[in-house]
Structure 1
Amino acid sequence: MAGQDSSLNSLLTSEERAQVDEFFFDRSDLASTTAETYSASWWDFLTWCKSHGHEAIPANPETIAEYLQDRRHYSLSTIRNRLSAISFVHGHLDLGDPTSEGRAAEVRKSITQEKREEETRSPGEQLGSRPYSPSEIIRGGLPLLRDYLAGLKEGSVEDIGEEDTGRHDRWESWRDRHEQARETWLDPLVSREKASVEAMTSEQRELIPEPAFSLSVMRDRAILLLMATASLSRPEVARIDLVDVIPDDDYLLVGVRRKNGMPDRAIRVSELDSIQVCTVRALSAWIVGAGLAGGPLFRAFDAHGNMKSSRIGLSSINLLVRNAAEVAGLDSKEWTPSQLQHTPQDLQ
Structure 2
Amino acid sequence: MSTLPKFVTSQAIGAVRHIDDYAEAGARYLNTGQQGAVNTQRAYSGDWRRFTTWCREHGREALPADVPTLAAFVTSLAEAGKKVATIQRHCATVSKAHQLAGLPTPTDDRQFKTLLEGISREKGVKQKQAPAFTLVYFKRAVQGIDTERPDGVRDRALLLLGLAGAFRRDELASLDLAHLRFDDDGLVVELPKSKTNQKGEAEEKAIFFAPDRRSCPVRAVKDWLELLHQHGRTSGPLFLSFHKGQRLSRRRLSTFSLNEIVQLRLGAPYTAHSLRASFVTIAKLNGADDAEVMNQTKHKTTDMIRRYTRLDNIRQHNAAQKLGL
TM over 0.5: no
TM-score (norm 2): 0.42
- Find the structure with the greater CA-based Rg: 2
**TM-score (structure 1 length as normaliser):** 0.40
Q: Going by fraction, where is helix more abundant, 1 or 2?
A: 1
Higher relative contact order structure (alpha carbons within 8 Å, sequence separation ≥ 6)? 1
